[in-house]
A and B are shown apart, each in its own frame.
Chain A
Amino acid sequence: ETGVTQTPRHLVMGMTNKKSLKCEQHLGHNAMYWYKQSAKKPLELMFVYSLEERVENNSVPSRFSPECPNSSHLFLHLHTLQPEDSALYLCASSQDRNGEKLFFGSGTQLSVL
Chain B
Amino acid sequence: GQQLNQSPQSMFIQEGEDVSMNCTSSSIFNTWLWYKQDPGEGPVLLIALYKAGELTSNGRLTAQFGITRKDSFLNISASIPSDVGIYFCAGHYPGAGSYQLTFGKGTKLSVIP
Whether B11 is near chain A, meaning CB under 8 Å from some CB there, is no
Would you call B42 and A92 a contact (CB within 8 A)?
Answer: yes
Size range of the chain A interface in the assembly? 20 to 34
Contact with A along B2-29 (1 / 0, CB 8 A): 0110000000000000000000000000
Contacts of A42 in B (CB 8 A): 3-4, 102-105
A55 to B97, CA, bound (A): 9
Q: Which of A60-68, A69-77, A93-101 contacts B (4 or more CB under 8 A)?
A: A93-101
Give the CA-CA distance A97 to B40 in the complex, in Å: 27
B102: nearest chain-A partner, CB-CB: A42
| B42 A106 Cβ-Cβ under 8 A | yes
B101 touches which of A53, A100, A105 (Cβ 8 Å): A100
Interface residue from B41, B88, B92 paired with A106 (Cβ < 8 Å): B41
Question: Nearest chain B CB to A75's CB is how many angstroms away?
Answer: 17
Identify which of B33, B88, B99 contacts A50 (C-beta below 8 A).
B99
B40 contact from A4, A103, A106, Cβ within 8 A: A106
Q: CB within 8 Å of B: which residues of A?
A: 2, 4, 31, 33, 40-43, 45, 48, 50, 53, 55, 90, 92, 97-107
20 extra A-B contacts, CB within 8 A, seeds A97-B98, A102-B43: A33-B99, A42-B3, A42-B102, A42-B103, A42-B105, A43-B88, A53-B98, A55-B99, A90-B43, A98-B31, A98-B99, A99-B98, A99-B101, A100-B31, A100-B33, A100-B92, A101-B45, A101-B48, A102-B45, A105-B42
